[in-house]
């Protein structure tokens, strides 16, 4: 009996020790993107998730880790944002202010044209008090918290019919836009005819002349090979591409304070990595576009101001009805403060 008792005690102790030494099962945070995987330079959201996961695991001692679903495995961006809002997915990366506007109008303030003079100023504004306050307001109204703003590159007008040097050159042109009221109003203010067309149909629409032109950042043009069906590209910088990474607010608030701080840090460092890649590649992207036979035009300061004068006042009036003049004034003040530093 004594021997059996000793054996039982040894076995129990062995299992207890094994349990103590077994690795703790990590809490998994799921993130969805429509970007590819593997190549950090070609798939910038892969760079984002790699940096995020590395910091998350290191700072939490492996208690938390990121599970990445690239290539639209969980659906398109609209679907994944809905999943985050419901809480069935923790994070979606790459949505736009237009996507968030379906949940709250105040997100539309990020679509204001010609408000940011540079990506550096935009990063300072969105990483500062204005961006944090906006994230809090959106989280309160929608249940979705912005954890990264990604002011990556400016959108510009391209054309297959003529070089655009001034708003007058756009008169009567059929210009593809997204189905976003501010984008439509901007194109109308410049004298062109806004024509909403799905991203998946844009190449063929340009190729067949359904539309004369479109507006996107250099890296976005290359994603769809639009340089093959456009002849002119004008660097008017009318809108800043600002993709967003968003997290379910209830999940975020359920985390211990230390883990929330780690999430914030990981999101910041991951954004820094992604934006660095986009910026480093910008001149190379423009060279690829030019090598494809596209004429690239840089407006003079006087020409640039003509675009601003045509667009800002009418669009701001429309935007004020959507988000309120106070929020627009807050954004302008934040931009002015960032420029002054």
pLDDT in tens, 121-152: 999 999 999 999 999 999 999 999 999 999 99
CA angle 118, 124, 125 (to 5 degrees): 90
Q: What structural domains does the chain harbor? A: 2-152+242-280 (3.40.190.170), 153-241+283-340 (3.40.190.170)
Q: How far is CA 180 from CA 159, 172, 204, in A?
A: 20, 20, 21
Query: Would you state the pLDDT for residue 25?
Result: 57
The predicted model gives 294-304 an average pLDDT of 97
Q: Which secondary-structure segment (H or E) carries 146?
A: strand 144-149
Query: Would you state the pLDDT for residue 15?
Result: 36
The structure tokens listed for 5 are 């008792």
Cα–Cα dist 2/339, whole Å? 82
pLDDT in tens, 176-224: 998 888 899 999 999 999 999 988 899 999 999 999 999 999 988 998 8
pLDDT in tens, 98-107: 899 999 999 9
The predicted model gives 152-157 an average pLDDT of 95
pLDDT in tens, 221-236: 998 899 999 999 999 9
Query: Would you state the pLDDT for residue 119?
Result: 95
Query: Would you state the pLDDT for residue 17?
Result: 37
Mean pLDDT of the chain: 91
CB 173 within 8 A of CB 193: yes
Taking the CB of residue 66, how many other CB atoms lie within 10 A of it?
A: 21
CB 49 within 8 A of CB 93: yes
Cα–Cα dist 219/191, whole Å? 26
pLDDT in tens, 253-270: 999 999 999 999 999 999
Distant-in-sequence, close-in-space partners of 83: CB < 8 Å, separation ≥ 6? 32, 74, 75, 89, 92
Total residues belonging to the chain: 341
């Amino acid at each position: 009996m004594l021997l059996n008792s000793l054996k039982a005690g040894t076995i129990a102790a062995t299992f207890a020790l094994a349990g103590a030494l077994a690795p703790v099962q990590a809490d998994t945070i799921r993130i969805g993107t429509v970007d590819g995987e593997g190549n950090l330079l070609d798939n910038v959201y892969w760079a984002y998730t790699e940096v995020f996961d590395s910091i998350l695991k290191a700072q939490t001692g492996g208690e938390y880790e990121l599970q990445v679903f690239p290539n639209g495995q969980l659906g398109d961006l609209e679907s994944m944002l809905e999943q985050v809002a419901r809480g069935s997915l923790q994070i979606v990366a790459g949505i736009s202010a237009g996507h968030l506007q379906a949940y709250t109008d105040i997100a539309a303030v990020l679509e204001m044209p010609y408000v940011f003079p540079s990506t550096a100023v935009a990063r300072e504004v969105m990483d500062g008090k204005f961006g944090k306050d906006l994230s809090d307001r959106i989280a309160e109204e929608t249940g979705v918290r912005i954890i990264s703003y990604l002011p990556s590159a400016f959108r510009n007008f391209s054309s297959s019919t003529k070089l655009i040097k001034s708003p007058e050159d756009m008169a009567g042109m059929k210009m593809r836009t997204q189905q976003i009221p501010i984008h439509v109003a901007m194109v109308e203010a410049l004298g062109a005819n806004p024509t909403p067309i799905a991203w998946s149909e844009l190449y063929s629409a340009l190729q067949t002349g359904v539309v004369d032109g479109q507006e996107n950042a250099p890296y976005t043009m290359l994603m769809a090979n639009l340089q093959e069906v456009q002849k002119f590209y004008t660097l008017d910088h009318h809108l800043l591409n600002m993709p967003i990474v968003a997290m379910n607010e209830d999940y975020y608030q359920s985390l211990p304070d230390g883990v929330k701080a780690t999430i914030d840090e990981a999101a910041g460092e991951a954004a820094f990595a992604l934006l660095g890649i986009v910026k480093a590649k910008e001149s190379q992207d423009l060279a690829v576009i030019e090598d494809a036979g596209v004429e690239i035009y840089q407006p003079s300061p006087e020409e640039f101001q003509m675009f601003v004068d045509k667009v800002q006042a009418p669009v701001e009036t429309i935007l004020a009805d959507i988000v309120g003049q106070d929020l627009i004034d807050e954004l302008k003040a934040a931009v002015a403060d960032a420029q002054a530093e």
